[in-house]
Amino acid sequence: MPSAKVLEQKKAVVAELVETLKNAQSGVLFDYRGLTVEEDTQLRNELRAAGVSYHVVKNTLTRFAANEVGLNELDPILNGPTALAVSDTDAVAPARVLAKFAKDHEVVSIKAGFMDGKVISESEVQMYASIPSKEVLIAKNARQLAGTYQQAC
């Protein structure tokens, strides 16, 4: 049986993870097994640049936090090495960064994700990853509007 100190530390980790999950627009769970230290550092840097937080927490603690926020469907996914990438500002950023990284590093595999409080499959994560960023969509629309305006004049 764990000591009271260890138990309190674990409760604090779960509480922090619950807040992270509550505030998240989306998140992606992935298997990071096989990454070198350099590759992991590169991934962390890419996630940080996209405004995505990266967590490696024991599956049991992640399960407690996920169940507390209503993401019970993640239970079967939480086995083996699992990392969590979460964004509270850009809903597709975790999917986009991880899908690109997984394409270049075959050892990384996306397990599942969640968006707006609902669990999504690996294929749905890949679909969201293919959506262009907000800035790209705005630029495309502005270019299209400018072209339409020039044709009208």
Number of structural domains found in the chain: 1
Confidence class of residue 153 from pLDDT cuts 50, 70 and 90?
Answer: low
The per-residue pLDDT for range 21-37, each reduced to its tens digit, is: 999 999 999 999 999 99
The per-residue pLDDT for range 78-114, each reduced to its tens digit, is: 999 999 999 999 889 999 999 999 999 989 999 999 9
Separation between Cα atoms, residue 116 and residue 127, nearest integer Å = 16
- Decide if pLDDT at 69 tops 80: yes
The per-residue pLDDT for range 108-136, each reduced to its tens digit, is: 999 999 998 899 999 999 998 888 777 77
Q: Which domain holds residue 55?
A: 4-152
Separation between Cα atoms, residue 94 and residue 87, nearest integer Å = 6
Separation between Cα atoms, residue 72 and residue 65, nearest integer Å = 9
Pair 65, 14: CB distance under 8 Å: yes
CATH number of the domain enclosing 110: 3.30.70.1730
